[in-house]
Amino acid sequence: MLRPDFQPKLEAYKNQLMKLSSHAWDYDKKWPEIEQWLTNFTGRCFPKEEEYLLALHLLTHFIYFGNSTIREMLKACYEEQFIIPLKQEIRKANGDTTDINLINSLLIQEINKTLFIGAGNPSESGAHLLYFFRQMNDLSKERFSDFYGAFYKDQISNELHPQSTLINRYIFFDDLVASGTQITDYLKDRLIQIRATNPSIKLQFMCLFATTAGLEALNTVEMFNGNAHCLFHLDDSYKIFSKKSRNFKSLRKPSRRKLKKFCQVYSTYLGFEEPHKLGYKNCQLMIGFSYNTPDNTLPIFWAKHPVYWTPVFARYSKIYA
């Protein structure tokens, strides 16, 4: 027998989610897809109807970025993290000039001495987004490279050197930095080598999203030494179950404790262990993109299995040899 308040609450969540889909999610999620996702919840933690409502409650707080939003963010990222600081740098170097023609002339020169590099493997999301980054900001394809298109390793000394003497600024790009572990593992030793032989080179990092921990990891002296920036800062209020969580500002039910238990029970069922039950390294994010969902997000949204789990925001995991 259904709870008397189940159907009205279900309809209320449905209406809220359909508004989200039309106004914020680029119509990327239809109600039948959400219904299919709900069938994953079979009463393992609480009665099935209650689990449906808990899942829907979490889904209404999910932050999803569709293609159109991502494109506009790439434009804002270029302007706010590159163009504006560079103009300020040019003005300061030229006696705080207000000569717009001089500023624009020197700006073009600096852009032509810059390379944007996708952080990580060329098949990963950072490099993928640089295609749209180039389009949205009307940049020449000559301003982009992969790591070994920008640097080469001397076969005798084993040192890293720039491929071109005309480039003095290298900007590494990614979509999301959560723990910072992957980027640090990939770049730390390389950046140390580059600086050792080319101390005048400018090394920077820009991304769309970063957690506080991720930014701290990237701004160490060995990494980007304070020159790593993001467009959208995911502080601890974006960790769904943290004490500072923005999702529990009101006293409305369901409770933080109940939702956390619900997520942990199903993450265990899906095979996740600590510290990854609430997202990779306990990141506890509720964020997804049209092209993929990061594993730092709660697994109940993105985990998939051909038999017993259908995701609502699928993740396409990396395959490591």
| CA distance readout (Å), 128 to 120, 196, 205, 310, 316 | 11, 30, 16, 26, 14
Q: Are residues 192 and 261 in the same domain?
A: no
Note the pLDDT of residue 36.
96
Note the pLDDT of residue 101.
96
Q: Are residues 22 and 75 in the same domain?
A: no
Residue 317 domain flag: no
CB 172 within 8 A of CB 114: no
pLDDT < 70 positions in the chain: 1-2, 123, 249-252, 318-321
Nearest to 129 by CA among 266, 265, 279, 291: 291
Q: Which residue segment(s) compose the domain that 259 sits in?
A: 6-61+240-302
Using one digit for the tens of pLDDT, what is the confidence trace for 242-281? 989 988 766 567 889 999 999 999 999 999 999 999 999 9
Note the pLDDT of residue 306.
74
CATH number of the domain to which 79 belongs: 3.40.50
Residue where a domain terminates, one of 188, 211, 234: 234
Residue 157 domain flag: yes
Note the pLDDT of residue 254.
81
Note the pLDDT of residue 124.
78
Q: Are residues 192 and 85 in the same domain?
A: yes
Q: Are residues 54 and 183 in the same domain?
A: no
Q: Are residues 54 and 184 in the same domain?
A: no
Number of domains forming the structure of the chain: 2
Q: Are residues 57 and 142 in the same domain?
A: no
Residue where a domain terminates, one of 234, 251, 275: 234
Residue 313 domain flag: no
Residue 315 domain flag: no
Q: Are residues 13 and 73 in the same domain?
A: no
Note the pLDDT of residue 316.
86
